[in-house]
Amino acid sequence: MQLTSKSRFSRLTRRVGTSALALIAVAALDTAASSAQADSSRAASPTAAHRAPTITKDAFGSTAEGPVDRYTLTNGQGVRVRIITFGGIVQTIEVPDRHGRNTNVALGFATLTPYLTNPAYFGALIGRYGNRIALGKFTLDGVTYQLPINNDPNSLHGGTVGFDKHIWAATPFRRGGDVGLVLRLTSPDGDQGYPGTLTVQVTYTLTASNGLRVDYRATTDKATIVNLTNHTYFNLHGEGTGSINDHKLLLNANRYTPVDSTLIPTGTLDPVAGTPMDFTRPTAIGARVRDSFGQLVFGRGYDHNWVVNRHDSTSLVLAARLSDDSSGRVVSMFTDQPGIQFYSGNFLDATLIGTSGHMYREGDGLALETQHYPDSPNHANFPSTVLRPGQVYRTTTVYQFGTEH
Ligand code: GLA
C-alpha cells in the first residue's frame, strides 16, 4: 500500500457509495472498487477457502465514545476472524476441523450491548495490567499508587474501565498473504490510577498459514507498569457446544506461581511435578479439575499463572498447545512472555448468552493469557513490569491453528 490506508479507505468509501457502506472490502484498497464488492461477498461465503485474503468492515453499534466497527479478516485458507474496535475484542475465530468444516471456536456475544459489561472479558485486549494487583496497590520510585478494587480485595485487568472498555482507532492492512488490523489507544496520565500517558498499539495479523499473531507495543511519558494481554476463550468443538473438559492441554512449564485464597501469588515458583498443575504432557482438563488440591480449591478450578520454560527472555517459545480429539482442531500458542494464565472458565454461571444463542456454563471455554506474572509490581523476584520514558514495551503472541488426525 503506497498511500496511507486512511486516505485510500475514504476514497474507496466514496467510490463504492453509501449503499455498500455497511460492508466495505478494505482489502480491495490495492484494487478497483468494483472488485472490492466482489471480494466482500466471497469473504462472506463459508467456502471461501484458498482465495485471496480479505478484510471487510461493518458497523457494530456505538457507545458514549462513538461508533464501533467490526472488521472481518479472512486469510483465503478457510480461517475467518472478527475483531471489534470496542475493547479490541476478538469476537469470533472460525477455523476448519479435520474435514475442513468451519466452526467459531472463540466465546463471545452476537451484539455490542453485552460487551459493554463483559464480566468474563471475552476476547478482549486487557490493560494496563493484565491479571491481579494485590489490594490494588503498588509502589514505584517511592510513590504508592492506588488502583480501583474491582475483584475484591484486588484490582483485576486494569481496573473498572480497562482497555477492554474503550474504542480503539483501527487501521486495516494487507501484506502479501497476510491481513490485519492496527489498533491504537492513548491512556491518559492517571487513567484508573496508573501513572504516565501510555500510548498503546496492538496489531492483529491473520497469517496465510492460519496463525493469529498479536503484537503489542507501548510507550510512556512517566515511569509506570504495564502488562498487556488478550482474553480470548477457546472451545475447539465450537462456541456454545458445552464443556472443554475433554480438551487436552499441554503447558510448556515446569513451575507455576501458587496463589493465596484471593488468587494473589505467594511469591514462590513451585514445581508442577506430582500435582494436578502438571500439564507438561497433554492432559485432559477434566481429568483433575475437581481435585481437592488446595490451589484448585482457591481457583474453583484452574486459574493460575504458569512459568513458561525458556532459555532467554526474548524468543518466541511454545507456551501452550490445546487440542480436541473429536474435531481434530489444535491451537498452539507461542509467546515471548514469561508467564501464561490458564483459566478454566470457572466463573461462567449460565448468566451470559453466547454468540450462537447458547448460555455459557462453568467450563464451557478456557482462556490462555500470555503475560507477566500476576502482582509482579509487588514481587521483586518476578520479572519486572516497569516501563520508563524512552523504553518501548514490545511483546508478541501467536495463536497457530491447525488440525491433527
Ligand atoms: C481472569 C481471572 C479470572 C477471571 C477471569 C474473568 O482470567 O484470572 O479469575 O476473573 O479473568 O472472569
What residue segments make up the domains of the chain, in order of their start? 85-110+127-157+182-403
User: Which residue from 12, 32, 8 is spatially nearest to 24, judged by alpha carbons?
Assistant: 12
Nearest CA to ligand 1 atom 10: 120
Nearest CA to ligand 1 atom 8: 303
With contact defined as beta carbons under 8 Å apart, do 341 and 374 qualify? yes
Q: How many other CB atoms sit within 10 Å of the CB of residue 330?
A: 19
With contact defined as beta carbons under 8 Å apart, do 186 and 209 qualify? no
What is the structure's pLDDT at 50? 64
99 catalytic residue (yes or no): no
With contact defined as beta carbons under 8 Å apart, do 346 and 303 qualify? yes
Return the residue matching grid coordinates 512449564: 253
Distance (Å) from CA 259 to ligand 1 centroid: 14
- Kindly name the residue from 157, 166, 231, 372 that is annotated as catalytic: 231
Which residues of the chain are modeled with pLDDT < 70? 1-50
Distance CA 121, CA 365 (A): 12
State the burial class of residue 312 (Cβ atoms within 10 Å of its Cβ: 0-12, 13-18, 19+).
exposed
Distance CA 54, CA 47 (A): 14
Distance (Å) from CA 283 to ligand 1 centroid: 22
Pocket test for ligand 1, best of 343, 348, 361, 368 (most atoms within 8 A of CB): 343
The DSSP annotation for 239-292 comes to TTS---TT-EEEE--SEEE-B-TTS-B-S--EE-TTSTT--SS-EEGGGTTT--
Distance (Å) from CA 56 to ligand 1 centroid: 31
Distance (Å) from CA 304 to ligand 1 centroid: 9
Distance CA 255, CA 203 (A): 30
Pocket test for ligand 1, best of 117, 133, 155, 157 (most atoms within 8 A of CB): 157
With contact defined as beta carbons under 8 Å apart, do 401 and 331 qualify? yes
- Distances in Å between the Cα of 250 and the Cα atoms of 253, 329, 330, 343 are 9, 14, 11, 14
Rounded (5°) CA angle 325-326-327? 95
What is the structure's pLDDT at 51? 80
Rounded CA Rg of the chain: 21
Q: What CATH number has the domain spanning 85-110+127-157+182-403?
A: 2.70.98.10
358 catalytic residue (yes or no): no
State the burial class of residue 32 (Cβ atoms within 10 Å of its Cβ: 0-12, 13-18, 19+).
exposed
Strand extents, DSSP E, 354-392: 366-371, 386-387
Q: Which residues pair with 137 in a beta bridge?
A: 146
Distance (Å) from CA 64 to ligand 1 centroid: 26
Return the residue matching grid coordinates 481435585: 291
Pocket-forming residues, ligand 1, beta carbon under 6 Å: 120-121, 156, 263, 303, 341, 343, 347, 367
With contact defined as beta carbons under 8 Å apart, do 163 and 229 qualify? no
Encoded amino acid at 162, one letter? G
In this prediction the pTM is 0.88
Q: How many other CB atoms sit within 10 Å of the CB of residue 41?
A: 13
- Kindly name the residue from 94, 239, 369, 379 that is annotated as catalytic: 369
